[in-house]
């Protein structure tokens, strides 16, 4: 009888140990599942947050590009007339937003012509686009508002020189930008605040002298 009780006690002890082990294993499994679920939820939240950030970025980028288009178009039209405008095409390449500026000409005789500034419209309009891009970058930075234009507008044809000079003068006044223009074209003198003429003497000495302006 005692032997039977001893064996029964041994079996009961083994059952208790087995039950305890099973309970511990179940707890560990539940903990592991909870951690896995939490990690899955965290990944889902991060993915959703990334989607939201990308959408906000796209909206901000679109707004900035629209603003840039409007500013450059205004500058172009003040020189070349209302038929010319800037359009910026965007695309996603390698996970990043790329932008391509295009000039658009819309006239009754030729209809709509669209293409890269330099290839489709020559040096005049493309040089003004480049100048406007530089000016906008300068205004948005914390750098000194100073533009050095060394024959930057040399490609602009003579019929647009007066409009270009007026545009540069307004740009300097409205944006508080000092513009130092190096040019061979005297049409800009009328709209300059100060002007200087440089010349090389027969002895090879370079002289600079102040000249009258139209201001």
Does 134 map to a domain? yes
Does 139 map to a domain? yes
What was the pLDDT predicted at 201?
A: 79
Task: Determine the structural domain holding residue 146 and report its residue range.
Answer: 122-215
What was the pLDDT predicted at 196?
A: 87
Domain count, the chain: 1
CATH number of the domain where residue 158 is located: 3.40.50.300
What was the pLDDT predicted at 139?
A: 80
Does 3 map to a domain? no
Q: Which of 108, 111, 95, 214 is nearest to 166 (CA)?
A: 214
Does 93 map to a domain? no
Does 163 map to a domain? yes
Does 176 map to a domain? yes
Does 63 map to a domain? no
Low-confidence stretches of the chain (pLDDT beneath 70):
1-8, 11-12, 14-18, 34-35, 38-39, 41-62, 95, 97, 214-215
Do residues 90 and 64 lie in contact, with contact meaning Cβ atoms separated by under 8 Å? no
Cα-Cα-Cα-Cα dihedral sign, residues 186, 190, 192, 196: positive
What was the pLDDT predicted at 85?
A: 92
pTM, entire model? 0.65
């Amino acid at each position: 009888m005692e032997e039977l009780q001893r064996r029964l006690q041994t079996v009961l002890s083994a059952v208790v140990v087995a039950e305890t082990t099973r309970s511990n294993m179940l707890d560990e499994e539940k903990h592991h599942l909870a951690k896995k679920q939490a990690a899955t939820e965290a990944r889902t939240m991060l993915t959703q947050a990334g989607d939201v950030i990308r959408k906000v970025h796209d909206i901000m980028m679109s707004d900035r590009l629209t603003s840039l288009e409007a500013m450059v178009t205004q500058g172009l039209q003040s020189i070349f007339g209302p038929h010319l405008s800037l359009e910026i095409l965007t695309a996603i390449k390698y996970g990043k937003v790329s932008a391509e500026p295009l000039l658009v000409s819309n006239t009754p005789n030729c209809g709509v012509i669209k293409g890269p500034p330099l290839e489709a419209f020559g040096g005049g309009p493309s040089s003004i686009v480049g100048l406007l891009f530089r000016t906008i970058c300068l205004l948005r930075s914390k750098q000194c508002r100073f533009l050095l234009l060394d024959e930057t507008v040399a490609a602009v044809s003579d019929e647009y020189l007066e409009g270009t000079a007026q545009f540069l003068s307004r740009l300097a006044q409205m944006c508080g930008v000092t513009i130092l223009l190096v040019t061979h074209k005297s049409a800009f003198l009328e709209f300059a605040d100060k002007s200087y003429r440089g010349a090389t003497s027969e002895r090879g000495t370079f002289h600079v002298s102040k000249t009258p302006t139209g201001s």
